[in-house]
Amino acid sequence: MNDKKISIAVFENTYRSADNHPIKNVVVTLPDGTKLEGGLWNGRSKNGLEYQYGQLMPASEKAKYERKTPTRSANPEQEVDFG
């Protein structure tokens, strides 16, 4: 790869479960190796023109915004039964 080019990859967001989640995931790699990650959403202009818009952030910052998966107890007998 030419070291002066910016690489862009766009993927379908297979984890999308709500309308406010991005429809596409984006990874941008800068010539110095810095990675930016983000998403794309669908939009519609006042004149009815469809477009996509997005956000990018340094990949190192992404962990701050990821949903945390609840952890389960290693011992099921210690779990609380709410049912």
Instruction: Note whether residue 78 is domain-resident.
Output: no
Strands of the 35-44 sheet, one edge to the other: 7-12, 24-29, 35-44, 50-58
Please give the pLDDT value at position 66. Answer: 61
Indicate whether 23 belongs to any domain: yes
Q: Read off the tokens for 9.
A: 């990859």
Residue 44, in any domain of the structure: yes
Classify residue 29: in a domain, yes or no.
Answer: yes
Spatial neighbors of 7 by CB under 8 A, at least 6 apart, are 1, 28, 29
- Rounded CA separation 20/40 (Å): 10
For residue 16, tell me if it sits in a domain.
yes
Q: Containing H/E element for 39? A: strand 35-44
The two tokens of residue 43 are 């939009």
- Based on the structure, what is the number of domains in the chain? 1
Q: Domain limits at 21?
A: 7-61
**Residue 1 lies inside a defined structural domain of this protein:** no
Q: Which residue has the higher pLDDT, 78 or 59?
A: 59
Question: Residue 82 domain-assigned?
Answer: no
Is residue 4 scored above 90 in pLDDT? no
Summarised one tens digit per residue, pLDDT across range 15-55 is 999 999 999 999 999 999 999 999 999 999 999 999 999 99
Q: How confident is the model at residue 79 (pLDDT cuts 50, 70, 90)?
A: low
Residue 77 and residue 68: Cα distance in Å, rounded? Answer: 23
Q: How confident is the model at residue 82 (pLDDT cuts 50, 70, 90)?
A: very low
Q: Look at residue 72 and tell me whether its pLDDT is greater than 80.
A: no
In a domain, 28, yes or no: yes
